[in-house]
Structure 1
């Protein structure tokens, strides 16, 4: 829950920042000076890219949460009984022990979004965020395909 609140606060701060950047870009464009106009246009492009990236990130999180809730409602999520470090995070070595089973499940059925999501959760528990995001993206992609709804 704390992570969600922090993400929302950061997103709101980014939106506020983007509003100020867009306003300043219009001020620069309104000066009528060539260099200022070019800077103003450049300042308009950057917020558009940032807004697109923020929207994609929010969409990724919402779709991932939806899949986790769907598996949780069906009772398909594994019990989180991993040993914890003093910080409260899962012990990466214990989480790594889950990989062979989840990798085997993905290899056995590479079109199963459930197998990919479980692999992503295992990567996340071990602290490998980039692989966790990759596996979760694959799960989201497969879940949106009607032919892979198993």
Structure 2
């Protein structure tokens, strides 16, 4: 199953869960006691926050995908197929570090180029640093909008 299919299925399950939580919140409101109403508000906030998180994550993924397609159309999508891999499929750590340093140098040479930031995000991902990879991708998205 593709990552897109998995995310859509999980989003659908979350929507169902949010609807069920909303029903519980309404039941608590109908009770009318101050404690039940307070719990109802809390239970109602969970799906609202959850929906925002799901939307933010899906939006980030869609924008990232579009940026990747744009970079691919330009012929600038990073190719990691030549990097040595471990039996698990992960890129060898030393090779990942070397490839990362090359991408970092690209960003230092052209800090306003969204393409370099996109490739740096991929390098962070290969190196196993997903948090910094997301930050680099956010920077690429920001620069691509200008």
TM-score (norm 1): 0.89
- 2:63 corresponds in structure 1 to 63
- 2:116 corresponds in structure 1 to 115
Q: Which secondary structure does the structure 1 equivalent of 2:32 belong to?
A: coil
Distance 1:24 1:39 in 2: 10
5+ residue gaps, structure 1, are 146-150
- 1:99 corresponds in structure 2 to 100
What are the within-5 Å matches in structure 2 for residues 1-150 of structure 1? 2-80=2-80, 81-145=82-146
Distance 1:66 1:86 in 2: 31
TM-score (norm 2): 0.92
Distance 2:73 2:90 in 1: 24
Let me know the Cα RMSD of the aligned residues: 1.4
Q: Is the 8 A contact 2:21 2:43 kept in 1?
A: yes
Q: Is the 8 A contact 1:123 1:129 kept in 2?
A: yes
Shift of residue 95, structure 1, vs aligned partner: 1.5
- How many matched pairs? 145
